[in-house]
């Protein structure tokens, strides 16, 4: 065995592999032998070796640099084209040079280069499209233009040319003609309290994240960027390398457990993150950076712990080979005695840590882009109420300034990956604000830390934050924007083209007409797209200006007029605070409060909460007290709420199931209180032990005959004999003590947020409850003023166009007008809608008058099918008495109800920030849900449906309120040739009739 016999090859897998493939060590050979072998074995190398190298080679550049080259070359082409046009028109005697910068193109004269710079200054726009480009931008274009000639033409401009071009862009001659800004962006100081606010907002905000993984990813990116001062492109897909899919992978991370002498049962976890995507050195293996982090287990530091969201992501991806829970990792049964490195699964080494969110979930292969990271950070900072939105580079710059003070210049350059002689930090990142107590310095006193903290509090980015700052334009401001002449012109062009298309489509289409239609569609599309770009660009600019004004006027608003309301609020819809309809974050509720005495155990609990979160975030609203379970399932039927049809919202589904469950419980309670009963109707004497069987017997056997008179025996030999009773359910409930509902009617009052149960079956409890709401909301508007009294019918609080109106969702009339329109979001009625015709119809019971519509489409369908058919062509009064005695034509009344009362009678647009109600077209009536009509059959009076078999229709299972209403009504008419016959009372067929 020799001297190495004690070594086992199992400890050296690499040596084992080498042994199976022959000797890896080769004797030293001559250059000729090595060359011959390599050319023989490598055809690609041989082809390159034999090829000619008498060609122009291009220096390898990064993708952003090449993009800048292409941009300047395009500007140069446009410049030469402009000179060619002037030369052809005889306006200039300077002949243009070749537009392409390629081998053989002569170097332009110095004057020609200055002309090009003058063209760039005069033609290019600044950030707000109304200013010139910045001086640094022009200087960068100049150096890029000079760099094009050595690379693409192999011609090197002289030092004298460079000197003259520099002198020109700094000359007074140029400065007097244009104003080239030399300002740089203001540095936003991100302090610890800012990070605390951002992370709290991240876990509590709604409508920002669709998945919990994205939420964890953004939490880590915020905290990591703020601590490491890393460029965004080193951890996510850089905007300069769009489509490269290069980002941080799990293989770039190492996890270590270090024994803790003070707490041996809980080893310390250290995460080593290696950043390989260094700016300018992406392809250089030795230019990387390593950053170490560990747990922040103290209660006050949990929210800003960098490792916490990272562990959540790690266990979601199951990256550890031998640890499958955070408890086994941080609280192991056998703690390590030396430093140990945790092994990761081979399958995840190339898996991206931060992955893009797709429609079906999280992508397995696509990286999060810088644009997505920037967008989420902007939204978070705006929702948090910061005066200015944050960017990833604000986090980098703030940490660079902190490192410069706390760690020194050398450590700061290492942290920010700046070259030793680089001046970028001082030019771009260093804060220009001095927060020291200079008075103490001048008077040779010690620094007053209270003053220093006051200075930092003044300049921090969260200073003066206000979550009430506008995130959209007010209604009047939006109206002013829509009425801008340029936008109106584009809208008219689009409408003119679309109207012409409709006219052409109404007639027979020839080939010439088809060509004309295609051209009109192109014109309409161009006008629409241009309108859309201008509208949204101007909208964003005006929102930014509105936020700036809001923060500028904070002192006036808070100190001089503190009682003045900021926003217009209404009586009902305006006070619809939707915070109580949202799900609170379980993580956010525990991260600051969880304290069992064992900080490591508490930390494990928080990680487990992050891991156990379902994939998708339900940002939808739910009624108070109703929410999904921990797996995003309905707590009643276990339906996965993220897989519902698009027309059904999660809150709507849970509410429906809650109603069903509560109705079943109330019915079971009534059943438990049921005393075995004998049927006393007429001569019937059947005995029943179950309430359900008794009620079914009454309805199917005797209820049909009650339309003449009631034959229920009050006492032996004495019948009720009540006749002409309109509501038999109320009659039986009040006089005979029976609830004829098979299941107890259960209703939810969206105004009070409570469930109502009709245990007695007479609907009286529901009527009494709604009577109180009627007195509060509508009683003051129930009297019509005297004839001749002047009543203002001008709409308020809306933007009016030819085809629709807009108003801000949630706004009302401040008690000046009755409010019927409600406020519905995610099919949840924050404020219910009401039918104005039913509310003031004193012939209806209060329950029907105050019926709460939790879907505005239901209100539209109800009004257009029940009330609109009774309108006359003229002389219609508004159903709201407070509108006075003004007479409306049918179309005028519909428009009045839409504009003045905001009732959606012609449909609504799919908008979120504004509510859009369509107006009826002059040549057609409002939208209605039309049913297919039968010309022959039986028309059920209960549901107005024409069916072929009335017996089958009325004997179907009573699983819905509509089916119960049909059985309760039990009337029909025969339809012949589309004409209805007289109404008849339906009686159940006998056994012999049904057999026939």
The closest alpha carbon to 942, from 930, 932, 954, belongs to: 954
Structure tokens at 66: 């090449």
| Residue 707, pLDDT score | 55
Q: Tell me if 497 sits within 8 A of 503, measured CB to CB.
A: no
List pLDDT tens digits, range 778-796. Answer: 988 989 888 888 888 888 8
Mean pLDDT of 272-278: 91
Encode pLDDT of 566-624 as tens digits. Answer: 333 333 454 555 667 767 666 777 787 788 888 888 888 888 888 887 777 777 888 88
Give the pLDDT confidence of 951-995 residue by residue, as tens digits. Answer: 888 877 766 767 777 877 777 888 877 677 777 777 776 544 443
The confidence score (pLDDT) of residue 574 equals: 47
User: Is the predicted pLDDT of residue 187 greater than 90, yes or no?
Assistant: no
pLDDT at 976: 78
Average pLDDT, the chain: 84
Q: Is the pLDDT of residue 770 over 80?
A: yes
The tens digit of pLDDT for each residue in 283-328 reads 888 888 899 999 988 888 888 899 999 999 999 999 999 998 899 8
Average pLDDT estimate for 919-944? 64
Cα–Cα distance between 184 and 195 in angstroms, integer? 24
Q: Is the pLDDT of residue 9 over 50?
A: no
CA of 500: how far to CAs of 486, 506, 510, 604, 801, in Å?
21, 10, 15, 67, 20
Q: Answer whether residue 7 shows pLDDT above 90.
A: no
Q: Would you give the end-to-end CA distance of the chain in angstroms?
A: 104
Phi/psi of residue 687, nearest 5 degrees: -110, 140
Give the count of beta carbons closer than 10 Å to the beta carbon of residue 30: 8
Predicted confidence (pLDDT) at residue 40 exceeds the cutoff of 70:
yes
Rounded percentage of the chain residues whose pLDDT exceeds 70: 90
CB 103 within 8 A of CB 56: yes
The residue among 347 and 506 whose pLDDT is bigger is 347
pLDDT for res 571? 38
**Rounded-to-10 torsion of CA 655, 656, 662, 668:** -170
- Are 616 and 642 contacting, i.e. CB atoms less than 8 angstroms apart? yes
Distance CA 806, CA 847 (A): 31
Rounded to 5 degrees, what are φ and ψ at 981? -90, -175
Predicted confidence (pLDDT) at residue 720 exceeds the cutoff of 90: no
In this prediction, residue 568 carries a pLDDT of 32
Contacts of 812 (CB under 8 A, 6+ apart): 569, 570, 571, 572, 573, 574, 575, 819
Whether residue 469 has pLDDT greater than 80: yes
Segment 652-678 mean pLDDT: 88
Do 837 and 827 form a contact (C-beta atoms < 8 A)?
A: no
Picking from 918, 910, 996, the residue whose alpha carbon sits closest to that of residue 951 is 996
Nearest Cα to Cα of residue 804 among 920, 922, 697, 709: 920
What pLDDT score was predicted for residue 250? Answer: 94
Q: What was the pLDDT predicted at 362?
A: 87
Is-contact 437 361, C-beta < 8 A? no
Q: Using 50, 70 and 90 to split pLDDT, how confident is the model at 24?
A: low
- Looking at residue 352, its pLDDT comes to 94
Percent of the chain with pLDDT over 90: 24
Q: What are phi and psi of 903, to 5 degrees?
A: -95, 125
Mean pLDDT value across residues 737-747: 84
Could you tell me where the beta strands, DSSP code E, fall in 710-803? 713-715, 718-719, 745-749, 754-758, 799-800
Mean pLDDT of 719-741: 77
pLDDT above 60 for 706: no
Alpha helices in 623-717, H assignment, sequence order: 650-672, 691-697
E strands of 227-354, at which residues?
A: 253-258, 268-275, 289-294, 340-341
Segment 838-848 shows an average pLDDT of 89
Give the lowest-confidence range in 245-254, 329-338, 403-412, 417-426: 417-426
d(CA 14, CA 10): 9
Averaged over 58-63, what is the pLDDT? 84
d(CA 70, CA 748): 64
Q: Taking CA 749 as the corner, what is the angle to CA 748 and CA 754, rounded to the nearest 5 degrees? A: 75
Model confidence at 912: pLDDT above 80: no
Where residue 164 falls among pLDDT bands split at 50, 70, 90? very high
Q: Please name which of 279, 253, 274, 248 lies closest in space to residue 354, comparing C-alpha atoms.
A: 248
Residues with Cβ within 8 Å of 231's Cβ and at least 6 positions away in sequence, in order, are 238, 279, 392, 396, 417
What is the DSSP code string of 622-646?
--TT----TTSB-TTT--BGGGS-T
């Amino acid at each position: 065995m020799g001297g190495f016999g004690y070594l086992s090859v199992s400890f050296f897998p690499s040596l084992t592999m080498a042994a199976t493939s022959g000797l890896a060590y080769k004797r030293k050979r001559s250059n000729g032998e090595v060359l011959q072998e390599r050319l023989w074995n490598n055809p690609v190398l041989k082809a390159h070796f034999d090829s000619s190298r008498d060609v122009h080679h291009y220096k390898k550049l990064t993708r952003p640099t090449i993009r800048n080259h292409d941009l300047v070359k395009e500007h140069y082409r446009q410049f030469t084209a402009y000179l060619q046009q002037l030369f052809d028109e005889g306006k200039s005697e300077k002949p243009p040079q070749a537009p392409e910068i390629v081998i053989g193109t002569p170097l332009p004269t110095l004057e020609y280069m200055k002309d090009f710079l003058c063209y760039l200054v005069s033609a290019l726009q600044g950030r707000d499209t109304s200013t010139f480009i910045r001086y640094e931008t022009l200087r960068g274009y100049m150096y890029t233009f000079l760099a094009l000639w050595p690379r693409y033409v192999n011609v090197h401009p002289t030092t004298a040319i460079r000197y003259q071009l520099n002198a020109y862009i700094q000359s007074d001659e140029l400065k007097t003609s244009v104003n080239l800004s030399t300002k740089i962006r203001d540095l936003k100081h991100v302090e610890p309290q800012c990070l605390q606010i951002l992370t709290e907002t991240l876990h509590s905000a709604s409508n920002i994240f669709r998945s919990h993984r994205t939420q964890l990813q953004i939490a880590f990116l915020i905290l990591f960027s703020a601590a490491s001062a890393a460029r965004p492109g080193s951890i996510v897909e850089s905007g300069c390398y769009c489509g490269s899919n290069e980002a941080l992978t799990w293989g770039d991370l190492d996890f270590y457990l270090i024994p803790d002498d003070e707490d041996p049962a809980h080893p310390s976890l250290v995460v080593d993150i290696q950043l390989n995507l260094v700016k300018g050195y992406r392809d250089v293996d030795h230019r990387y950076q390593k950053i170490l982090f560990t747990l922040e287990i103290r209660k006050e530091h949990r929210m800003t712990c960098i490792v916490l969201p990272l562990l959540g992501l790690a266990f979601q991806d199951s990256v550890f080979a031998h640890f499958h829970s955070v408890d086994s990792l941080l609280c192991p049964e056998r703690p390590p005695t030396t430093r140990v490195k945790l092994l990761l699964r081979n399958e995840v080494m190339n898996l991206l840590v931060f992955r893009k969110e797709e429609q079906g979930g999280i992508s397995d292969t696509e990286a999060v882009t810088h644009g997505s990271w920037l967008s989420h950070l902007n939204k978070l900072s705006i929702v948090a109420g910061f005066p200015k939105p944050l960017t990833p580079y604000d986090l980098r710059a703030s940490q660079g300034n902190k490192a410069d003070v706390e760690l020194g210049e050398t450590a700061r350059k290492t942290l920010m990956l700046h070259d030793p002689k680089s001046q970028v930090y001082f030019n771009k990142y260093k804060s220009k604000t001095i927060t020291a107590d200079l008075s103490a310095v001048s008077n040779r006193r010690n620094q007053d830390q209270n003053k220093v903290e006051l200075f930092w509090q003044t300049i921090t980015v969260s200073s003066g934050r206000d979550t009430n700052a506008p995130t959209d334009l007010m209604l009047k401001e939006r109206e002013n924007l829509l009425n801008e002449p340029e936008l109106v012109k584009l809208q008219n062009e689009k409408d003119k083209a679309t109207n012409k298309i409709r006219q052409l489509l109404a007639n027979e289409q020839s080939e010439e007409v088809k060509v004309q239609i295609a051209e009109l569609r192109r014109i309409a599309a161009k006008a629409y797209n241009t309108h859309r770009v201008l509208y949204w660009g101007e909208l964003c600019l005006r929102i930014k200006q509105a936020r700036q004004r809001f923060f500028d006027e904070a002192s006036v608003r808070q100190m001089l007029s503190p009682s003045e309301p900021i926003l217009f609020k209404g009586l009902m819809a305006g006070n619809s605070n939707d915070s109580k309809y949202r799900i609170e974050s379980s993580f956010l509720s525990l991260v600051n409060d969880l304290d069992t005495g064992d900080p490591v155990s508490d930390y494990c609990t928080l990680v487990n909460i992050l891991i156990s979160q379902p994939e998708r975030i339900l940002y939808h609203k739910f009624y108070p007290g109703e929410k999904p379970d921990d797996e995003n399932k309905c707590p009643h039927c276990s339906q996965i709420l993220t897989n519902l049809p698009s027309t059904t919202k999660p809150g709507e589904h849970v509410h429906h199931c809650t109603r069903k469950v509560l109705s079943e419980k109330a019915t079971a309670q009534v059943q438990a209180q049921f005393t075995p009963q004998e049927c006393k109707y007429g001569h019937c004497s059947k005995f029943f032990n179950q309430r359900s069987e008794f009620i079914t017997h009454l309805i199917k056997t005797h209820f049909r005959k009650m339309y003449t008179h009631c034959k229920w025996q009050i006492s032996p030999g004495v019948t009720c004999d009540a006749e002409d009773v309109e509501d038999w359910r109320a009659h039986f409930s009040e006089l005979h003590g029976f609830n004829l509902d098979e299941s107890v009617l259960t209703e939810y009052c969206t105004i009070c947020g409570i469930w109502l149960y009709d245990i007695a079956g007479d609907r009286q409890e529901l009527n009494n409850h709604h009577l109180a709401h009627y007195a509060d909301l509508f009683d003051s508007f129930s009297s019509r003023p005297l004839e001749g009294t002047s009543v203002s019918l001008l709409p308020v609080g809306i933007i009016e166009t030819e085809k629709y109106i807009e108003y801000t969702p949630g706004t009302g009339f401040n008690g000046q007008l009755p409010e019927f329109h409600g406020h519905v979001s995610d099919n949840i009625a924050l404020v219910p809608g009401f039918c104005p015709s039913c509310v003031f119809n004193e012939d209806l019971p209060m329950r029907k008058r105050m019926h709460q519509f939790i879907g505005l489409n239901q209100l539209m369908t109800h009004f257009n099918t029940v009330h609109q058919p009774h309108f006359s062509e003229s002389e219609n009064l508004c159903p709201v008495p407070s509108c006075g005695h003004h007479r409306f034509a049918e179309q005028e009344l519909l428009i009045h109800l839409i504009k003045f009362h905001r009732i959606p009678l012609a449909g609504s647009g799919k908008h979120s920030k504004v509510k859009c109600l369509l107006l009826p077209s002059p040549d057609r009536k409002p939208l209605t849900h039309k049913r297919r009509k039968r010309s022959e059959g039986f028309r059920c009076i209960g549901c107005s449906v024409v069916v072929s078999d009335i017996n089958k229709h009325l004997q179907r299972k009573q699983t819905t309120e509509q089916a119960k209403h049909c059985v309760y009504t039990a009337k029909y008419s025969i339809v012949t040739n589309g004409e209805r016959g007289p109404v008849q009372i339906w009686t159940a067929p006998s056994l012999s009739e049904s057999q026939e």
